[in-house]
Amino acid sequence: MDKIERYAEILDSAALHARATPQLTHTDPDLSVADAYLVQKLSVDRRLSRGERRIGVKMGLTSRAKMLQVGVDEVAWGRLTDAMLLEEGASMSRARFVHPRVEPEVAFLMKAPLSGKVTAMEALAAVEAIAPAMEIIDSRYENFKFALSDVIADNTSSSGLVIGQWNDPAKDFSNLGVILEIDGHVIEVGSTAAILGHPLRSLVAAARLVAEGGEEISAGDIVMAGGITAAPNLAPGQTVRTTIQGLGSVMFQVED
């Protein structure tokens, strides 16, 4: 087993058992971004071999707030599977995660493939619908600390997603108000413009980065555009809701 396979096994096991692990770069400070993406692919492949199904991709580190929170300065992408999808209004089990957080996002539903260098208008033409969404992120690393290569290897901390009602993408979603509430209290306020200035720019970046990884965004895929605000911690008993102006709300609950 080479180091890429070993790292993939370590991260897969950490996620399976909800157990934190030391950063890979603590013992391998020269771990490259390219190798980190290989680790991510092999780690997710292990999940697919257990019966999970790929449903799309996610973008990470797309807002200034998120970059500052985790101490990195470059966007990244990860893979989504059906086991990560939580029904809107349902409950997530806190015990399945190490130290979960939540962030409000915009989700795209694709009606056509998208790959390589594309324009914003080409990206929009491939979109079937948009929706308010939330992503549950859960770094498998101790203390939620990582370098860029670490977080990429860890599937950009992606652990779950909840999607609200789908909307016509023809409406202007470049600068919509966003509110994240926990137990009825406003925790974070932001704008969809926090996603690289416009969520479409995230989709354009996703098409390019996924193609660089030898894959493509397919018709029927979900693309999570990236966090809009800082991501608060989740705890049992909470009710979490995100509302995006003109798009609607999405909610889930946290149980033990």
pLDDT tens-place string over residues 220-255: 999 999 999 999 999 999 999 999 999 999 999 999
pLDDT digits (tens, 9 = 90+) for 227-236: 999 999 999 9
How far is Cα 127 from Cα 169, in angstroms, rounded to an integer?
7
Which amino acid does the sequence have at 38?
L
Domain range for 52? 3-255
The answer to pTM > 0.75 is: yes
How do residues 36-66 score in pLDDT, each as one tens digit? 999 999 999 999 999 999 999 999 989 877 6
Position 185 confidence tier, pLDDT thresholds 50, 70, 90: very high
CATH number of domain containing 177? 3.90.850.10
Mean pLDDT of 90-94: 96
Residue 167 DSSP one-character state: B
Buried b (16+ CB within 10 A) or exposed e, 169-198: beeebeebebbbbbeeeebbebbbbbbbeb
Total domains in the chain come to: 1
SS3 80: strand
